[in-house]
Structure 1
Amino acid sequence: MENTFLSALVTSLLAALVTSLGIYTIRRFADWGQRNTTYFMCFAAGVLVAASFLHIIPRALSMNPDASAWLLVGFLGLHLFNRFVTAFVCERRPDGRDVAIGVVPMLGIGFHSFIDGFIYSIAFTVSLLTGYLATVGMVLHEFPEGIITYLLLVRGGIKERRAMWLAFLAAAATTPLGMLVSYPLVSRIDASTLGALLGLSAGALVYVGATHLLPRAEQEHRKYSLVALAGGVLVAVVIVASQA
């Protein structure tokens, strides 16, 4: 039991470290990152939407036949949150910057990373081998999550230092936090409950990718945006294949 807990904790901390490296890297090359934010938005949309449809949603439905309802709740919930931020926060900013473009993805990615912590707990409780196999695929998507969370916060008008800490808290720290919160409750988290949480998470990610990021990226008409989108889809396919 002790080895199981330590393994789940270490791998969730590894995921947080990889995400933090993404945040550090893009801040180190901030000018380049901001010039190419549109491409990162397309890339992130490809990863989030493809990973949701190819992996998260099928897994959620296999665990809970009602996961599609939770998918809808996650999608509409983030849409309503976006409307609230746009109406009551963006209007009050004197500089007119669109805070929602950073805050909404931060919320969706943060919730998903928190649920990732649950998955680490459950996978290692099944067996150490299952946990390590799950880790291989899950850690791959952490690096781009840190990058896009930071970039979008900066684009929304958040100062760089604050954006760095918000991105760390939302995309990195939530994974070990989710693991620590869920580990004592693993015996009570059945497949149906996890399926509902995964459905909720997938709905939020689909909203962030398809409804929030892509339309904004398309407004800028960058030459290689479709290539960046295809690259994101390809990365998602690799992640899913590594977990098969």
Structure 2
Amino acid sequence: MTGSIWVPLAASLVACAVTAAGIVAVRSFRERAERHSGYFVCFAAGVLIAVSVLHIVPKAGEMTESAPYLILGGYLLMHALDRFLTAYVCDRTDHADATLGLVPLIGIGLHSLLDGVVYAVSFTVSAFTGVLVAIGMVLHEFPEGVVTYTLLRAGGIPSRRALLLALAAAAFTTPLGVLASYPFVSRIGAPLLGGLLALSAGMLIYVGATHLLPQALREQGRYSVTALLAGVAVAIGIAISGG
């Protein structure tokens, strides 16, 4: 093992800060954001589907031959969770649409936690590898924060609670991933990390394609298709950057 925990932890804290900036920015313009929340749902669908297909799935496939099965497993796991939340949580509360925010929150939270694991692993390979990985990964943190908070609000979660949940799931989980995985990083091989990424990809594909895309298709806003394509464009930028 090379280096120390402080370097990957510092990188993860930068990622955390960028995600938090996205959350705070969209909350600061809350009225405008809520007025155009449908566009953010379309944007989120584009980002999550394209990032998963173009970036996470290929990377997981390079690391483990079990990737296709784990992608399917992640997808089915999120489907089961969605049905559970709808049947036993949201139908018994005043917010029947809460799954619109809660399901993505879980998928994004797991993915952000795995981001922290990736930081820990990459910086133990070499400082240069870690820096390249960090630069690429930080690029997707700001839109991730925007998407997480907006979907929670669209699901009827109160503003303050949405802020805290978004920060906890999308921002703070990344340094937590570094802290939790660093003591074991020498034992995290490519197959295990690839398997976790594949599981994460399946969950995010479910969130984007099955959970958000139908909502996006119902949007009659003038620029809903543009918002969807903008999300895809952001994801393509992330994939090209190698993030």
Band of TM-score, shorter chain: over 0.9
Query: What secondary structure does 1:97 align onto?
Result: coil
| Aligned amino acid, residue 58 of structure 2 | P
Q: Distance in 2 between matches of 1:175 and 1:199?
A: 18
**Count of residue correspondences:** 243
| Aligned amino acid, residue 5 of structure 1 | I
Query: Tell me, which stretches of 5 or more residues in structure 1 are unaligned?
Result: none
The answer (yes or no) to whether the contact 2:95–2:155 under 8 Å persists in 1 is: no
Q: Distance in 2 between matches of 1:4 and 1:33?
A: 41
| Aligned amino acid, residue 118 of structure 2 | I
The answer (yes or no) to whether the contact 2:2–2:126 under 8 Å persists in 1 is: no
Q: Distance in 2 between matches of 1:132 and 1:78?
A: 32
Q: Which residue of 2 aligns with 1:134?
A: 133
The within-5 A match list for 1:40-79 is 40-79=40-79
- 1:96, distance to aligned residue in structure 2 (A): 4.6
Q: Which residue of 1 aligns with 2:167?
A: 168
| Aligned amino acid, residue 15 of structure 1 | A
Q: Which residue of 2 aligns with 1:17?
A: 17
Q: Distance in 1 between matches of 2:219 and 2:116?
A: 36
- 1:35, distance to aligned residue in structure 2 (A): 1.1
- 1:169, distance to aligned residue in structure 2 (A): 0.3
Query: Tell me, which stretches of 5 or more residues in structure 2 are unaligned?
Result: none
The within-5 A match list for 1:1-244 is 3-93=3-93, 95-243=94-242
| Aligned amino acid, residue 11 of structure 1 | A
| Aligned amino acid, residue 19 of structure 2 | T
The answer (yes or no) to whether the contact 2:45–2:216 under 8 Å persists in 1 is: no
The answer (yes or no) to whether the contact 1:39–1:228 under 8 Å persists in 2 is: yes
Q: Distance in 1 between matches of 2:126 and 2:147?
A: 33
- 1:4, distance to aligned residue in structure 2 (A): 3.9
The answer (yes or no) to whether the contact 2:2–2:124 under 8 Å persists in 1 is: no
The 1:179–1:209 alpha-carbon spacing in structure 2 relative to 1, beyond 3 Å, is: same
Q: Distance in 2 between matches of 1:43 and 1:69?
A: 28
Moved more, 46-55 or 195-204: 46-55
Q: Distance in 2 between matches of 1:55 and 1:20?
A: 23
| Aligned amino acid, residue 166 of structure 1 | L
**Moved beyond 3 Å, runs of 4+:** 1-4
The answer (yes or no) to whether the contact 2:57–2:198 under 8 Å persists in 1 is: yes
| Aligned amino acid, residue 70 of structure 1 | L
- 1:173, distance to aligned residue in structure 2 (A): 0.5
Query: What secondary structure does 1:217 align onto?
Result: helix
Alignment deviations for residues 147-203 of structure 1 (CA, whole Å, 9 cap, x no partner): 111111122221111110010000000000001111111111111101100000000
TM-score, normalization by structure 2: 0.96
Alignment deviations for residues 182-227 of structure 1 (CA, whole Å, 9 cap, x no partner): 1111111111101100000000110111111110121122221111
Alignment deviations for residues 75-110 of structure 1 (CA, whole Å, 9 cap, x no partner): 0101110001111112112x3531101100000000
Q: Distance in 2 between matches of 1:38 and 1:137?
A: 28
Quote the RMSD (CA, aligned, Å). Answer: 1.3
Q: Distance in 2 between matches of 1:113 and 1:193?
A: 17
- 1:34, distance to aligned residue in structure 2 (A): 0.7
The answer (yes or no) to whether the contact 1:109–1:171 under 8 Å persists in 2 is: yes
| Aligned amino acid, residue 162 of structure 1 | R
The answer (yes or no) to whether the contact 1:79–1:207 under 8 Å persists in 2 is: yes
- 1:2, distance to aligned residue in structure 2 (A): 7.8
